[in-house]
Amino acid sequence: MNARGTPRLGAALPRLGAALPRLGAALPRLGAALRLAVLAGLGLLFLAGPPALADEAPASEAAAGSEAAPFEISDVPSGAGVLRGRVVHEARPDAVAGVAIALYALDPNGRPGSRNSETDAEGRFVFEGLSTEATVVYLVGARYAGLPFPGDRVVFEAGSTEQTIEVKLFEPSDDLASVRVVQSSVRVALGSGRLLVSEVHRLQNSGERVFHVPTERRAGRRAPLEAELFEGVENFAMPLGVVPEGATRDGRDFAFWGPLYPGEQEISFRYDIPIETGARTLVKRFPSAADRIRVFARDGGPLEAVAGMEPGEVVEESGMRFQPFEVTAPGAAFTTRLSLRVPEMRADPGALELVEGQIILEVDDVTLQAQEQYRLEVTGDSIVRAEPGELLLELRLPEAAEDIRFSADASALGLVRTEGGVGVVGPLQPGSHGLGLAYSLRSGEDGVRLARSFDRRLPLLRVLVADTGVAVATERLHRRRPQRDGARFYLTFETFELEAGESLALDLRALPPRGSSTRATRVLAMVVGVAALAFLLAPLGSKEGADPGLADDAEAPAARHERELLYESIRDLDHDYETGKIDEEGWQTLRAELRGRAVTLLAAERSDAEASAPPAKPTATLACPACPACGSEARPGDRFCSGCGAGLEGPPA
């Protein structure tokens, strides 16, 4: 999840940052479905253990083939933050005491953490020692009457060390009258010999109670959400690989029995089915009455028509165009037929090119977190795929890589795990495709080395290292100007025309913390060194017999050089202050000293320039004639004497 503000990839990669939903800006926009899965699924592991799934498909079957396994949970990121909360129950104010509370956190690298607590007699609770980084997102949930109740997400604002939250409790109800399905959406895409299906169902509870039907009371009743999956369903999975409480699946039949909280929330899942080339017709049944039903596919195929549904305007998402088909208020149940044409595909690995890549790194004393983003290009005018058992492209990862994660659209690329990393099998439409992945490496006392190579030519690769106090050593990459994204700085490196099989390496080492006194010593030493340099250079321009012009030319560069070094020191000092390496008091003191020295040098340069300027030549004065009659001095231009009135013009020659 961005890493703390992932920098722009540039015009060529405008949307790849969003391809990793758990990175960067995606964290603040955790959807209702993901939040429900986190709190109703993982949160239960700490509050009351895994939910009972009697009369339901085993969780292992429900999540069979899922690429996302449940996370291992540790403590939340630590820091100086305090989160205070309060549980409220409008119908039963006396029920807020002794309520179990779970705090769930996701750090910028997608690692989860959890803590548990309990409310006091007034329904209050507190979590202390939390990280205040703006990229760490917290979710708080309560468990009451056997049900989880999620609160809003919490993010510490810049400069804030304390946040508050309120969690609302509701009495349970199994009255279905207040629940309806607002919209059901189905999206289909081509995979390698498979049709990839994702379904999102949006429900609304207009009542004032949380809807839930316990397992023992479900027999003979209708669930608020019932969905029939395509025939041949395989690899069914829900967000984070967790089957939330109230979700059941029996073969093709999926149902959700709650909890459904007042307001709207989403239930989503995905699966795939085998499919062959040529014309195909698939039957899709929507058992639950929905206000609106939509079916999506990528513009241009494979979906050609949907019976009983009208095509809508083409929409664009993440740089791809989709053609929707929809129907409004279809009735109590709706059955349709999807007409697809699966095109012939060519096995041509050479048609898939690596165009551009970017690696974003963050290192501390323990771990290096890496996010890799690539733009792929399929040339030609037909779909490409790999031969059975082969790959179109392989991205080999470091051998010690851990916690490997992929972007949400990995299945659409036909991404598979290989012995050395990940591979792309397709099928891929002609044009551009984005691929994102993330992993971590353990860092030791001497830092960590990241070595990368690719199985084909890469025209451009950027590496951005979060400037959290880290030293970077590399030979193949060229250092560029640092980039700033929000409040964070990134050391930037770049290389062009990386050949297939060519290796590049970066050695990263976290620098020890530097206080303001250490920084002050270093900066003042620089000022003293610059002054000493100026002192040593000064005699070169003042030797006896030297040409004054040469002396000026020697002194001026020395003064200018010292002043430019001071300007550079001021810029470095500002950078260290903005990245938190020096406190405000030390920054202001040192900046004033450096600026004062620079102003003094500038004034001295101007004064020396004025003093060394050649003296102005005196202007010639005209002699004033005297009156021949009375001897009075006349002014220039006078024709008559002002004393006696005699004419001043001389006699004619």
Model confidence pLDDT, tens digit, residues 544-586: 444 444 344 444 556 676 777 777 777 777 776 666 566 677 7
Residue 588 has pLDDT above 50, yes or no: yes
Confidence at residue 186, expressed as pLDDT on a 0 to 100 scale: 95
Confidence at residue 428, expressed as pLDDT on a 0 to 100 scale: 84
Residue 113 has pLDDT above 60, yes or no: yes
Q: How confident is the model at residue 632 (pLDDT cuts 50, 70, 90)?
A: low
Confidence at residue 66, expressed as pLDDT on a 0 to 100 scale: 35
pLDDT, one tens digit per residue, over 503-521 is 889 888 877 655 444 455 5
Tell me what percent of the residues of the chain surpass a pLDDT of 70.
70
Cα separation values, 573 from 65, 81, 492, 568, Å: 53, 28, 19, 9
Interval 356-380 mean pLDDT: 88
Q: What angle do CA 357, 358, 364 make, to 5 degrees?
A: 150
Is the pLDDT higher at 358 or at 639? 358
Q: How confident is the model at residue 34 (pLDDT cuts 50, 70, 90)?
A: very low
**Fold designation for 16-171:** Immunoglobulin-like (2.60.40)
Structure tokens at 473: 């050593």
Confidence at residue 293, expressed as pLDDT on a 0 to 100 scale: 94
Residue 233 has pLDDT above 90, yes or no: yes
Confidence at residue 367, expressed as pLDDT on a 0 to 100 scale: 83
Q: Residue 529, by phi and psi: left (phi above 0), alpha (psi -120 to 50) or beta?
A: alpha
Is 88 strand, coil or helix?
Answer: strand
The CATH number assigned to the domain with range 350-510 reads 2.60.40
Structure tokens at 4: 């703390």
Residue that has been written with the tokens 């510490």 in this structure: 156
Q: Is 645 exposed, middle or buried (0-12, 13-18, 19+ CB in 10 A)?
A: exposed
**Short-list 428, 482, 485, 492, CA closest to 460:** 492
Delimit the CATH 1.10.132 region(s) of the chain: 516-609
Helix extents (H) in 409-547: 410-413, 516-537
Confidence at residue 629, expressed as pLDDT on a 0 to 100 scale: 64
Tell me what percent of the residues of the chain surpass a pLDDT of 90.
29
Interval 213-241 mean pLDDT: 90
Residue 502 has pLDDT above 60, yes or no: yes
Cα separation values, 425 from 349, 372, 394, 608, Å: 9, 19, 9, 73
Lowest mean pLDDT among 62-66, 205-209, 399-403, 523-527: 62-66
Structure tokens at 301: 């195929």
Buried b (16+ CB within 10 A) or exposed e, 546-570: eeeeebeebbeebbeebbebbeebb
Q: Is 93 exposed, middle or buried (0-12, 13-18, 19+ CB in 10 A)?
A: exposed
Confidence at residue 206, expressed as pLDDT on a 0 to 100 scale: 93
Q: How confident is the model at residue 25 (pLDDT cuts 50, 70, 90)?
A: very low
Confidence at residue 635, expressed as pLDDT on a 0 to 100 scale: 65
Delimit the CATH 2.60.40.1120 region(s) of the chain: 16-171
Confidence at residue 317, expressed as pLDDT on a 0 to 100 scale: 74
Residue 263 has pLDDT above 70, yes or no: yes
Q: How confident is the model at residue 43 (pLDDT cuts 50, 70, 90)?
A: very low
Residue 538 has pLDDT above 60, yes or no: no
Interval 442-460 mean pLDDT: 87
Confidence at residue 529, expressed as pLDDT on a 0 to 100 scale: 55
Q: Does the domain at residues 516-609 carry the CATH identifier 1.10.132?
A: yes
Lowest mean pLDDT among 104-113, 237-246, 369-378: 104-113
pLDDT, one tens digit per residue, over 139-170 is 999 999 988 998 888 999 888 899 999 999 99
How far is residue 428's CA from residue 433's CA, in Å, rounded to a whole number?
A: 8
Residue 17 has pLDDT above 70, yes or no: no
Confidence at residue 278, expressed as pLDDT on a 0 to 100 scale: 84
| Helices and strands (H and E) in the chain: how many | 7, 36
Q: What angle do CA 81, 45, 437 make, to 5 degrees?
A: 70
Residue 81 has pLDDT above 90, yes or no: yes
Structure tokens at 203: 């429900």
Residue 318 has pLDDT above 90, yes or no: no
The mean predicted confidence, pLDDT, of the chain is 76
Confidence at residue 187, expressed as pLDDT on a 0 to 100 scale: 92
**CATH code matching the domain that covers 176-342, chosen among 2.60.40, 1.20.120, 2.40.160, 2.70.50:** 2.60.40
Confidence at residue 621, expressed as pLDDT on a 0 to 100 scale: 44
How far is residue 536's CA from residue 398's CA, in Å, rounded to a whole number?
A: 51
Is the pLDDT higher at 158 or at 231? 231
DSSP letter string over 263-326? EEEEEEEEEEEE--SEEEEEEEEE-S-EEEEEEEEETTSSEEEETT-EE---EEETTEEEEEEE
